[in-house]
Amino acid sequence: MFAFNHFNFNVLDLERSLKFYDEALGLCPVSEKKAEDGSFRLVFLGDGITGFRLELTWLADRTEPYDLGEQEYHLAFKTEDMEAAHRKHEEMGCICFENPKMGIYFIEDPDGYWIEIVPLRR
């Protein structure tokens, strides 16, 4: 038997990413691991509702943006208030793709990862 634990995004600027995920999605650090030699930091973010975590990995020697390929993957978050979420993300300037027909849209984080926003369907 398996259960989801976490998903990882590698980031260039950890503080910028932490600010983005807090502001855009309300994700807060729930645990952290630092290398003794300062070569990396792992910060796990949680939503305060589920046990799923997003791991942000920062590598001290990394200076080039990550190659994200063709972006044929993404995380998805659901929200009860699509209008308010869309308004907030529009104000942040992070909406990168919208599909009104499906009732969804995507935001892009500072490193280029796409995150789908979907309405909570009851």
Q: Which residues are catalytic?
A: 116
Q: How far apart are CA 9 and CA 42, in angstroms?
A: 10
In degrees, rounded to 5, the angle at the alpha carbon of residue 113 between the alpha carbons of residues 62 and 43 is 60
Q: How far apart are CA 30 and CA 61, in angstroms?
A: 25
Amino acid at 40: F
CB atoms within 10 A of CB 3: 6
Q: How far apart are CA 60 and CA 66, in angstroms?
A: 14
